[in-house]
Amino acid sequence: MSDESFDHLSDHLQSIQIEDEDASRYYINYISESDEDEAGLPDSTQIDDDIDISLLPRDLIITPIPHELFTNDHLKTEFEAIFRQFDPNITVLYLKFFQRVRITFTNSLNALRARINIHEYDFHGFKFKTYFACPLPIRSTETYLRPPEPEKLFLISPPVSPPIGWEQKVEDPPVVDFNLLAAIAQLQPNESHEVLPSQGNLPKIIIHTCEDLGPQDEHSNALRQKLIKPTLVQTRRPPSAQSQS
């Protein structure tokens, strides 16, 4: 789910929960582990004037959290009240599959204040870790190889050591003799077929097919197959001790 989707959700929703089967469809977040994020957070909400707050994300990831938070409505109300003191119009996204919560604030300043004050906050035996949900930059696809066109390609295999300047060439498609295919399609069973017409003093070539086998021929053929096929003789069982006695 992109940041634009979360922006759209924050305008219409107050809280939402994604179940296990739906959570895997979304890219959850990218937790920045830079030196600035890992450094100690100030104890107060005093913001440096030199920092451009608008460049910061307005989404926070909260983890770890109690497992009962996803099923207990009273616990959800208590949890959301902690963050609504910084922004009453937050959007809470419960990501049960990832055991974390994503909170979207109306602006970056409220998100920064919440991160400073709620980091290491003790909630029912769990100490919150707050992270900015940093968007991943979209890389240009022009730097990657593109797949071939969706058509049948007849490419000539490259040599073992391609010389300098060697280029992939498209091989001509295989030759299909349509006249031969048409002649085969005209063949009919139990009929004579003229393969080559007569030309001058050369005779023509005609193939006469065999007729269908009659009842006697079929019987002879079955007998012939039976004689050709060997009969497997079962190995005799060796005598037992009782029979010898």
Question: Average pLDDT, stretch 25-31?
Answer: 39
Higher pLDDT, 98 or 33: 98
Q: How confident is the model at residue 178 (pLDDT cuts 50, 70, 90)?
A: confident
Question: Average pLDDT, stretch 161-187?
Answer: 78
Question: Average pLDDT, stretch 36-63?
Answer: 61
Q: What average pLDDT does the structure give for the chain?
A: 71
Residues 66, 68, 73, 75, CA torsion sign: negative
Cis amide prior to 197 (ω within 30 degrees): no
pLDDT for 162 beyond 60: yes
pLDDT for 6 beyond 60: no
Q: What is the pLDDT of residue 151?
A: 64
Higher pLDDT, 13 or 225: 225
pLDDT for 177 beyond 70: yes
Higher pLDDT, 9 or 139: 139
Residue type, 188: Q
Question: Average pLDDT, stretch 203-213?
Answer: 73
Nearest to 80 by CA among 103, 111, 97: 103
Other beta carbons within 10 Å of 15: 15
Higher pLDDT, 34 or 123: 123
pLDDT for 77 beyond 60: yes
Question: In percent, how much of the chain has pLDDT > 70?
Answer: 60
Q: What is the pLDDT of residue 51?
A: 59
The CATH H-level (homologous superfamily) assignment of domain 3-33+57-132 is: RRM (RNA recognition motif) domain (3.30.70.330)
pLDDT tens for each residue of 88-144: 888 888 888 888 889 888 888 888 888 888 888 888 888 888 888 876 666 666 767
pLDDT for 5 beyond 60: no
pLDDT for 209 beyond 80: no
